[in-house]
Amino acid sequence: MLTPEEGIKRKKNSGKLDRLEMEKIEFHKKVYEGYNRLKDKRKNIYEIDATLDIDFIHNKIIGIVENLLKEE
């Protein structure tokens, strides 16, 4: 998971910010903290390190989805 600061930095470097992305950093920190609390309580929320290589992230997501589909 990216910190709010890193997420906004990435978005600023990639182009125009939308309404939510232009919110103050305190807003983004509250959202980040909320997701962290949910992640700790629910087994269907997965944390993926977004600082890793894009191919690794892609494969991680594919693996999670495949495992979920096997459970059905």
60 vs 62: CA distance, rounded Å: 5
Q: Please give the C-alpha separations between residue 21 and each of 3, 26, 35, 59, in angstroms, as whole numbers.
A: 13, 12, 16, 27
Closest CA to 31 of 69, 39, 61: 39
Domain that holds residue 18: 4-71
Evaluate if residue 31 carries a pLDDT over 80: yes
16 pLDDT band (50/70/90 cuts)?
Answer: confident
Do 1 and 35 touch, CB atoms closer than 8 A? Answer: yes
pLDDT of 12 > 90? The answer is: no
- Give the integer Cα–Cα distance in Å for 15 and 69: 35
Say how many domains are in the chain: 1
- 32-51 tens-digit pLDDT: 999 999 999 998 899 999 99
Region 46-71: mean pLDDT is: 95
